[in-house]
Structure 1
Amino acid sequence: MRLVFTANCVFKRLLHTEIGGKYAKQHPRNLKGRSKSSQEWLTRQLTDPYVEKARMMNYRCRSAFKLLEIDDKYGILQPGDTVLECGAAPGSWTQVAVERTNANGKQERAPQGAVFSIDLLHFHAVPGATIFGGMDFTTSLAQKRLREAVQHRKVNCVLSDMAPNATGVRMLDQESITNLCYEVLRFALAMSAPQAHLVVKVWDNGDVPKLERDMLRFYEKVKRVKPRASRGDSAEHFLVARNFKGATDS
């Protein structure tokens, strides 16, 4: 089965109007002929303040605020850091990583970082980042290309917002995203500098506690996080692993 790994958000035009400092609710129009799921998506977008906020701050997707909140709380991105991002399309996490690591060189007195982003989908370039679009991270070829691009650098942070295309079969979907997390973890163990960090997306399931324990073998701290920008009806969480101890299990 071929899986599509993407950041699971769609870059859409603004669906809010700001009046008097507050977001005024808009009512979806032209719903005739649309499927029920399409109508529900439109309605949800119209009531989502992060959609408007992303447009105002020039982020490609609302998911930028998930990473911003994680970084604000745990300090996983620093100027000068080298970052690998998996499941990067449409590029909002890449934008945040570039800003926070100074990969675009805009902070004149801060060290300049480097960001390498990959996704099965093609997506527009982000200034300051090296983009690998149309590449499946789970293949040996894609991982070889990433290693070659990183060259001599040791990675300070690995980010993954990857998720498989949902099949609707809960157990299969949960197994698929957990397998993705392990794939990212294995790559991070081989690429990370001492004290590096790792963030992976999970869907709540019975395998998550084991994944947390396995990550704790290699990182000093692992925290399960649900950012405010994650929708309340979503099963997604993020595992934030901090301070890489080394690839050898102690």
Structure 2
Amino acid sequence: MLNSLFSRFHRSTSSAQGDTKARIEALAQQFAERGVRLYVQKKSVKRVNFRVKAGELHVSAPVWLSDDELIAMIGERLAWAAAASEKLQRKSAQQKTLLWGKPFDVRQTAANFGMSPRKLANTSDDALVLWVYRQALTEKLAELAQKWQPVVGKSAHEIRLKKMTSRWGVCNTRDKRIWLSVYLAAYPYECTEYVFVHELCHLHHANHSAAFWQCVQAAMPDYRFWHDYLKRGGVAAL
């Protein structure tokens, strides 16, 4: 990690370069001792940006900023990054993994869906969750189409799943293809139904006009409840 981190800084003389590398290594070690992995990149941005994830600090800086200034700025944020990272890690540990809105045993469910014991043993929990979500949603696609396409009065040529965190669903009106986020499987099934209805209605109205929302309302009178449920529970949006 340190070598790739260092390679993104300005090149200078070999002695100065060696000094900078040593300082970066020392700084990264200080963060590591506080449980935070440090990632730094210089690119075309206007200001230095600090983004904390659970166990990580990601820093992006303008290419014109000197290494000395950047290293000093990162060092000043050690305590802040450690505290923020720890808070995120605690929050993550407290969150339950859900399937259709209910806690579930990830590995047992993956086995029930047919994953082999060998693959199960060599797959991380995070990857298993996404795999289970895909399997669970795939089982529901035919049911969704059969139930809701006659109600809305439009049919999708294709329904596909995608790892999306900024949208619950997407409709390609030209190809009549609907994409659903795999993360919908974490929420009650009615949320998936609502998103599917929402995207189907875009085949009538390729916008969010009053006529569009009337279409959604006519097909699913309680859509607002599930719309708000997703809005409260996730970061994605429609």
**TM over 0.5, shorter chain:** no
- Structure with more helix by fraction: 2
**Structure with larger Rg:** 2
User: Which TM-score tier does this pair reach, normalised by the shorter chain?
Assistant: under 0.3
Q: Normalising to structure 2: TM-score of the pair?
A: 0.26
- Structure with more strand by fraction: 1
Greater RCO between the two (CA within 8 Å, min separation 6)?
Answer: 1
